[in-house]
Amino acid sequence: MAGGREFHGQPKRIADVRLRSVGDMHVGEVFHHGLCIFTGTMQYKARPSEFFRVRDLVDPVSNINLKIVNHIDLRPAIKQLTIRDLTDIKVSDCYEADCTADIHPAATAPLYRLPVVGFLTGYYWRTEFRLVGGRILHDYLSPSVA
């Protein structure tokens, strides 16, 4: 659905995400309205790693989204916190390396309010997975559903 959200509430038009390899480095960039709001770098295939190390730090398997769908008159029709898990995960590559993160200010993308206070290890993994239905964690318009 161009310019909208999928039924899980995953944003579809908030940003343009680009990942490329430049020499011996991965470069990830996030653009919002044509402006670069985030740049991350990581050495290309520095150290082989395992996906469980990524999951020890952050769980990329369970995805939490704020799903908002408005009526035609712009009143909220759906406003839910949803969760879904990826299944049948097959990781083909996983690497770790030193990394950098640079957040650039933009008026309509307040990511810059989350300051970079230090650099940890960066991870790059390539995976296949199946996206399945999820569940509602909280419904802001119908308090009886949770």
Domains of the chain: 16-139 (2.40.400.10)
Tokens of 29: 């960039």
| pLDDT tens digits, 68-125 | 888 999 898 999 999 988 899 999 899 999 999 999 998 888 888 888 888 888 888 8
**3-state SS class at 110:** helix
Give residue for tokens 């990329």: 60
CA 97, distance to chain mean position in Å, is 20
| Per-residue pLDDT at 5 exceeds 70 | no
Contact 47, 96 (CB under 8 A): yes
pLDDT of residue 103: 92
| Per-residue pLDDT at 11 exceeds 70 | no
Q: If pLDDT is split at 50, 70 and 90, which confidence band does 25 have?
A: very high
| pLDDT tens digits, 32-51 | 999 999 999 999 888 999 98
| Per-residue pLDDT at 1 exceeds 50 | no
| Per-residue pLDDT at 52 exceeds 70 | yes
